[in-house]
Amino acid sequence: MNNFTLDGKHIIVTGGSSGIGLGAAKVMAGLGARVMLVARREARLAEAVEEIRQAGGEADYYAADMSVRDQVIASIDAAEERFGPVDGLFANAGAGGPRASIVDYSDEDFDDIMTLNLKSLFWAMKRVLPSMIERRDGAILATGSLASERGFSDTVGYNASKHAVLGVVRSAAAEVARHNVRVNCILPGVIESEMLTDLADQLGGGNYDEGLKIIGRMAPQGRVGTSEELGNVAAFLLSDAARYVNGQSWAVDGGILGTIITGG
């Protein structure tokens, strides 16, 4: 029996106006999901929803800042009013924060990145889980990072927040598994996104394509991954085909975390 479909499922995608979130939303809508996109930029959200609808998918949007608790709750309220109970949450909103050594990293920057990357996940989970538990059905997927498993220099706030995201996922998975609700974490490697665009411009000295080649060489597969490739895995993890996958960190990284290249 093939359960790799999202037909009729209501899925919220935060950070859904561009990059990984939008790529995943397109895949999920193509598999039959009713997708609610949440992000700050309303104009970009409207464009994203129109793209999905033009392709035959069902989608709507709600503009919200995921670093503000009341707006997180309001976005989920609006999603339920539009599409009914939430079957899946892709908690993808996040940011990289500043690059600075620990001694130069400001308290304010640390608090800001922890709020957006971590607290927003906590708030959203608390809001959607009661209904999922009552219905004994639902799945949550959080966007972690290679920084959920490794230590990166000059980015202590981001690194700490993404380690913590994985901890929250594992704790929630342990709590709700008995209610037939699953919680997992996806770890993007070098995947096309706005964050990656900025890095490519820096590394390429303003030459985006050259910077992208440099970044791509980080992965054993020798290239940057697409948002659609990550979206395929995200869709699977939120589908019934993954109904026995719980509490996992799933890397989509071209082999970075799992390999060591020793020869040419």
Length of the chain: 264
What are the helix (H) ranges across the chain?
Answer: 19-30, 42-54, 69-83, 107-114, 120-135, 156-176, 194-203, 208-216, 227-238
Residues in contact with 99: Cβ distance below 8 Å, sequence separation at least 6, in sequence order:
154, 155
Tokens found for residue 247: 């509490």
Residues in contact with 4: Cβ distance below 8 Å, sequence separation at least 6, in sequence order:
31, 235, 236, 239, 241
How far apart are alpha carbons 64 and 15 in whole angstroms? 10
First to last CA, the chain: 42
How far apart are alpha carbons 259 and 264 in whole angstroms? 14
Given a contact cutoff of 8 angstroms between Cβ atoms, the answer to whether 174 and 248 are in contact is no
Tell me which residues are annotated as active site.
Answer: 158
Q: From residue 225, give the alpha-carbon distance in Å to each of 28, 166, 247.
A: 18, 22, 24
Residues in contact with 166: Cβ distance below 8 Å, sequence separation at least 6, in sequence order:
142, 144, 148, 149, 185, 249
Question: How does 47-69 read in b/e, with b if 16+ C-beta sit within 10 Å?
Answer: ebbeebeeeebbbbbbbbbbbbb
